[in-house]
């Protein structure tokens, strides 16, 4: 059963997964290339350090957008026939949703894997202390966690709010924006700042996106 769910997941999202994989594979090389232009010795750890923070936004956007599409597209396939197919299968709805979630999450491992490979390949060009050789793994794990975080949020929202999920997202974003503006005008800006701090610093739910993405921090 799960194999077939995974098959459909890959069939629908293979282009997105492939694009994510290529992008994440090339990102460490891009980081090094950007950094190399700023330092004297392009083969030093400094080169990649300098470039990596600049390209971290690519990883954040890739994880957010990729996760959103990988969660959303299969849902639209089921929604096209009002979920009659999954509801008529001899498994409970929870079981089906769990398999669908698992299949999507599994496909997202691939871009994390290519990020790891890309990092290992890039680092192979540079002389770095052996103790720092574990960083590609850490970076890939961090990317995977960020992607799964965004994927879980989108997936949960869709299966709870259904076709209204886009409206729910819009209401939350606009509501947040309006509330922020009102608080700012009322001189209560510190509430907004505290709230963002809570979201983006560990163990906040968005900390995985916001903190330092430098590959080698020496």
Partner 1 sequence: MTDAIRIRGLTWKAGTDFALRDLDLTVPTGAIYGFLGPNGSGKTSTIRLLLGMQQAERGSIDVLGHQVPRDAHLALARIGYVPERLHLYQTLTVGENIRFRRAFYPTFDDAESTRLLKHFGLREHQLLSKLSKGESGKLMMLLALAQRPELLVLDEPTDGLDPVLRRELLSSLVDYVSANGATVFISSHLVHEQERICDWVGVMDQGRLIAELPMQEFRSGIKRVRLAQAPAALVGAPFTLLSRETVSERVEEWVVRGWRPEMQQWFAQDAATGTTEVRDVLDCDLEESFVELLRGARLQREGAL
- Does 92 engage in binding with partner 1 (CB under 8 A)? yes
Are 27 and 120 in contact by the 8 Å Cβ rule? The answer is no
104 contacts: CB under 8 Å, gap ≥ 6 = 9, 13, 70, 71, 74, 151, 155
Residues 210 and 90: their CA atoms lie apart, in Å, by 43
- Give the closest residue to 104 by CA, choosing from 1, 215, 218, 2: 2
Task: State how far the alpha carbon of 120 is from the alpha carbons of 25, 29, 201, 215, in Å.
Answer: 10, 10, 28, 11
- Does 155 engage in binding with partner 1 (CB under 8 A)? no
Tokens 């996760």 -> residue: 67
For partner 1, which is the closer residue by CB, 49 or 72?
72
Cα 192 from chain centroid (whole Å): 24
- Does 79 engage in binding with partner 1 (CB under 8 A)? no
- Does 88 engage in binding with partner 1 (CB under 8 A)? yes
For partner 1, which is the closer residue by CB, 1 or 191?
1
- Does 200 engage in binding with partner 1 (CB under 8 A)? no
Shortest distance, position 156 Cβ to partner 1, whole Å:
22
- Does 87 engage in binding with partner 1 (CB under 8 A)? yes
For partner 1, which is the closer residue by CB, 80 or 178?
80
Binding piece for partner 1, criterion CB under 8 A, among 7-15, 61-69, 140-148, 178-186? 7-15
Report the interface residues with partner 1, using CB under 8 A: 1, 3-4, 7-8, 11-12, 77, 80-82, 84-85, 87-92, 95
């Amino acid at each position: 059963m799960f194999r077939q769910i995974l098959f459909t997941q890959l069939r629908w999202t293979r282009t997105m997964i492939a694009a994510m994989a290529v992008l994440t594979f090339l990102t460490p090389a891009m980081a090094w290339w950007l950094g190399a232009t700023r330092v004297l010795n392009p083969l030093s750890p400094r080169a990649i350090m300098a470039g990596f923070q600049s390209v971290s936004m690519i990883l954040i956007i890739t994880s957010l957008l990729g996760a959103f599409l990988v969660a959303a597209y299969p849902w639209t396939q089921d929604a096209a026939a009002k979920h009659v197919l999954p509801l008529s299968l001899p498994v409970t709805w929870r079981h089906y949703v769990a398999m669908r979630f698992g299949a999507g999450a599994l496909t997202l491992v691939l871009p994390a894997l290519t990020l790891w490979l890309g990092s290992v390949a890039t680092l192979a060009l540079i002389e770095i202390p052996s103790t720092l050789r574990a960083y590609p793994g850490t970076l890939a794990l961090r990317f995977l966690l960020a992607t799964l975080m965004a994927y879980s949020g989108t997936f949960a929202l869709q299966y709870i709010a259904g076709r209204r999920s886009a409206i729910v997202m819009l209401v939350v974003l606009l509501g947040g924006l309006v509330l922020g503006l009102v608080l700012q005008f009322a001189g209560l800006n510190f509430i907004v700042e505290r709230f963002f701090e809570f979201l983006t610093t560990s163990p906040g739910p968005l900390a995985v996106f916001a903190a330092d993405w430098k590959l080698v921090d020496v």
